[in-house]
Chains A and B, each alone.
Chain A
Amino acid sequence: MISKFKNAIGYTRTIGRILLISNGAIFVLMVFAFYTGNYASVVFLGFSLVILLISQWFLLTLKSTSITSFEDKIEITREKLNYIFNCIAAHFESPNPDDPNSLAKDVEVFTRELSESLTQCSVTLTNQMQALSIALDNQENERLQKIQDTLLPLIKTLSDAMKTYFNVRDKIDDTLRIQVTDAKAMIERLEPEVLDLSGRLASMQELPLFPVSLRQLDEVIATNLQLDHSIYNQFEVIEHDTNQNAIELVTSMQNLSGSANRLVAYITSTITTITEMNDGVDDSVQFIIDIGHFIEEIPNRIRADIEQLRGATSVIDGLGYLVDSIKEISFQTDILAVNAAIQAAHAGDKGLGFKIVADEVRKLAVNSNHAAEMIETGLENARKTIQEGLKFKALEEVMVQMDEAVHMLESVKKLEQNHEDMQQFYKTLFAVINQNNITLAENISEILSGVQYQDIVRQRIERMKATMSRRNELFERFIDELANTRGLLTNDFAVQMDVVLKDYLEEEARHSNSLNESTEEEPPKFELF
């Protein structure tokens, strides 16, 4: 029993040391809570301290209880403290680049977290103390030793965290104070310029202004202004070219429509001439066609005439045979009458009547012969007349032909003149239309050439676009770096901006420009190697 008590006394001493340290730790926490303005924690920690003291009093009664989940809680607390510590350390090693004010925010957050953790810590400690008293009651040596081992580093961690926190806070204070002072001085110095450029800085105004970055900002803006100016100049070139091109196009179009209108008027006015010439030609041609028809008909007509005459002649010839027959008959009648008269004379008076008849028959024969001779003469005359008529008609025919031939010659000559006129006319017309076509083609060609400006302007705008995006990229990097380094820029953005400008100007100089032809000695627009 006595040895048991002695043991208990030994335990009590050990626990007493632990409690002493715990009391100290809680006191430190209270101070910290007080400093951070977390009065609730102060009250709570005070309350904890009171409980701890009460626990100590309980401890003296040496009531043993079992230890439950004691180690786990200590572990959690230690982890939490480590986390806070790491967070603070991490923050100073690599600040948040997105928000320039993140440091202040983070400090606030971490402070709050720290105080919460510490509060929890104190709660845990209280619990642990309770557990401790229970352990003491149960006289579990090993476990008590373990609690002691755990509590010591926990408290050490805690105090380290506190130290770091205070250091960090001081550092932040100092840095900010120095930077703000510097910035203020800088702002005072650069205020007029900054005011001047403030419009352009709208997007960057929220950044803290630091000396290095301000100087660079100044240079970057100046270069950017130059770049803007160059691009503005190019826009002027584009405007000038587009204008010029449009004027040229319109002029060409006007020339084109002018030429076309003149040509139309000319051709319209020539229609009268064409009509007149065609009428002349038509008349001559009709005349020649008529004569042609007439001449074509002449052989037929002559043939018909000859046929007719030949018919008449053959009729007359036929009548000639008839005359011969009459002559034959009259001759035979005459012989018959003579014989009859001889026979009548033989018959004497008896034949007297017969003699009279014979005389009459003879008279008839003589008359017949006479008539036949007269007919023959008539027929001969008729034949002669026909023959003479044929001769005369042929002559007349020739006369008519001669007459027509003269007309035709005139017509042919007229036609020839018509042809000549027409040739002259169409040659002239062709020359004029051809000349006009050349003018039209030239105008169309110039209009088409005007389209080339579209390509030139497109390329010029593409170069601008590329430069703009290069500049914007540079701006973005500049802003990023401003935020990340708080003005301690590692890149010389002014130089980089200058490179963008120079590249652009060089690029533009390489290409043809309608406005600076007079100012610089440009290589020729066309060159054969």
Chain B
Amino acid sequence: MAKTILLVDDSVTMLMSVKTNLEMAGFKIETAEDGVKALAKLTSGLKPDLIITDINMPNMGGIELIKKARALPGFRFMPILTLTTESQQGKRDEGKAAGATGWLVKPVGGADLLKIIKQVLPGA
């Protein structure tokens, strides 16, 4: 069974590139343009194996999305990675406190991204 990954980013180019990349590696990809849309997908029954989210987005940012997703039933232990241009420690701590599994700084090469995903998604 192909693992499902939910990608959240307000940049269409970002969504396109990562989606294609991960689909080539055999993942099933769902996308959302901001936290609100992502949360709507999660509450309407989407249960991905991994969430990869941007931090700075309109309507609802990544930190808030992680907090809200963690509060949903069944999302307590789901791996959630960030993929952002934010690299400072302060923001990372914020992400960690919100419940992020790991912090990725853009840009991430295709092979690197797969390696990281394999680390948080054993058996993928």
A contacts B: CB pair < 8 Å = yes
Binding site for B on A (CB under 8 A): 441-442, 444-446, 448-456, 458-460, 509-513, 522-523, 525-529
Q: Is B85 an interface residue (CB 8 A)?
A: yes
Q: Are A525 and B105 in contact (CB under 8 A)?
A: yes
A459-B56, A510-B88, A528-B119 known; A452-B107 Cβ under 8 A = yes
Residues of A within 8 A of B113 (CB): 449
From the candidates A452, A511, A512, A529, name the one contacting B17 in the complex (CB within 8 A).
A452
Residues of chain B having any CB pair with chain A under 8 Å: 9, 11, 13-14, 16-18, 20-21, 24-25, 56, 85-92, 95-96, 100-114, 116, 119-120
Instruction: For A506, give the chain B residue with the smallest CB separation.
Output: B88
From residue B69, how far is it (CB to closest CB) to chain A in Å? 15
Cα separation A339 to B75 with both chains bound (whole Å): 132
Report which residue of A441, A455, A527 has the largest number of chain B beta carbons within 10 angstroms of its beta carbon.
Answer: A455
Report if A525-B110 is in contact (Cβ < 8 Å); known contacts: A451-B17, A456-B85: no
* A458 lies within 8 A of B109 (CB): no
Q: Which of A445, A453, A510 has a CB less than 8 Å from the CB of B110?
A: A445
Q: Assess A529 versus B102: contact at CB under 8 Å? Given A452-B14, A452-B17, A458-B11.
A: yes
Cβ A442 vs Cβ B110 within 8 A = yes
- Starting from the known contacts A512-B86, A523-B103, A523-B105, 4 additional A-B residue pairs (CB-CB under 8 Å) come to A449-B108, A452-B106, A456-B107, A459-B56
Q: List 9 A-B contacts (CB under 8 A).
A: A448-B17, A448-B20, A449-B110, A452-B108, A509-B88, A513-B87, A523-B87, A526-B112, A529-B101
| 10 A-B pairs with least C-beta separation | A445-B110, A451-B17, A452-B107, A455-B11, A528-B102, A512-B87, A510-B88, A448-B17, A511-B85, A455-B14
Tell me the complex Cα distance, A441–B22, Å: 11
Cross-chain contact A523 with B92 (CB below 8 angstroms): yes
A residues less than 8 Å from B111 (CB atoms) = 442, 445-446
**Which residues of chain A have C-beta atoms less than 8 A from B56's C-beta?**
459
How many Å lie between the Cα of A460 and that of B89 in the bound state?
A: 19
**B85: chain A residues within 8 A (beta carbon):** 455-456, 459-460, 511-512
A455 and B101 contacting across the interface, CB-CB below 8 Å: no
Say whether A526 contacts B104, CB under 8 Å: yes
Q: Is the CB of B86 within 8 A of A455?
A: no
Q: When the two chains form their complex, are residues A528 and B105 in contact, meaning their CB atoms are under 8 A apart?
A: no
Inter-chain contacts of B114 with A (CB < 8 A): 445
Asked if B109 contacts A446 (CB within 8 A), the reply is: yes
- B96 to nearest A CB, angstroms? 5
Chain B hits for A529, CB < 8 A: 95-96, 100-103
Instruction: For A453, give its contact among B24, B88, B95, B107 (CB under 8 Å).
Output: B107
In the complex the two chains form, what is the Cα distance from A45 to B56 in whole Å? Answer: 78
CA of A449 to CA of B113 in the docked complex: distance in angstroms? 9
Q: Is the CB of A510 within 8 A of B86?
A: yes
Given A449-B21, A456-B85, A510-B86, check contact A526 B14 (CB 8 Å).
Answer: no
- Nearest-Cβ distance from residue A422 to partner chain B, whole angstroms: 30
Cβ contact within 8 Å between A526 and B102? yes
B100 contacts across to A, CB distance below 8 A: 529
| Given A523-B87, A528-B119, A529-B96: A456 touches B106 (CB 8 Å cut-off) | yes
Contacts of B88 in A (CB 8 A): 509-511, 523
Q: Give the complex CA separation of A334 and B79 in angstroms.
A: 124
Q: How far is the CB of A387 from chain B (nearest CB, A)?
A: 76
Could you say which residues of chain A place their CB within 8 Å of the CB of B116? 526
Q: Are B108 and A526 interface neighbours, CB within 8 A?
A: yes
**Bound complex: CA A510 to CA B93 (Å):** 13
Q: Which residue of A lies closest to B89 (CB)?
A: A523
- Chain B residues with CB under 8 Å of A510's CB are 86-88, 90-91
The docked-state distance in angstroms from the alpha carbon of A406 to that of B120 is: 63
Interface centre among B14, B86, B91, B106 (most CB of A within 10 A): B106
Contact A450 B107, beta carbon cutoff 8 Å: yes
Choose one: A444, A526, A527, A528; the contact of B24 (CB below 8 Å): A444
Q: Which residues of B contact A523 (CB under 8 A)?
A: 87-89, 92, 103, 105
Residues of A within 8 A of B102 (CB): 526-529
Give min CB distance, B48 to chain A, whole Å.
18
Expressed in whole angstroms, the Cα–Cα distance for A475 and B37 within the complex equals: 39
B20 surroundings in chain A (CB, below 8 A): 448
Nearest Cβ on chain B to A459's Cβ, whole angstroms: 5
Closest to A517 in B: B87
On whether the beta carbons of B87 and A455 are closer than 8 Å, the reply is no
- The answer to whether A528 touches B120 (Cβ under 8 A) is yes
User: Whole-angstrom distance from the CB of B56 to the nearest CB of chain A?
Assistant: 7
B-side contacts of A446, CB under 8 Å: 109-111
B15's closest neighbor in chain A, by CB? A455
The residue of chain A having its C-beta at the shortest distance from the C-beta of B112 within the complex is A526
A403 to B96, CA, bound (A): 83
The interface residues of chain A lying within 8 Å CB-to-CB of B112 are 526
Complex: A456 Cα to B84 Cα, angstroms: 9
Residues of A within 8 A of B120 (CB): 528
Contact B108 A522 (CB under 8 A): no
Say whether B109 contacts A449, CB under 8 Å: yes
**Which residues in A have their C-beta under 8 angstroms from that of B105?**
512, 523, 525-526
Contact B104 A448 (CB under 8 A): no
Complex Cα distance, B86 from A513, in Å, reads 10
Query: In angstroms, how far is the closest chain B Cβ from the Cβ of A378?
Result: 89
- State whether A449 touches B17 (Cβ < 8 A): yes
Residue of B nearest to A241 (CB): B107
State in angstroms the CA–CA spacing of A452 and B21 once bound together.
Answer: 12
With A and B bound together, what is the CA distance between A451 and B25 in angstroms? 18
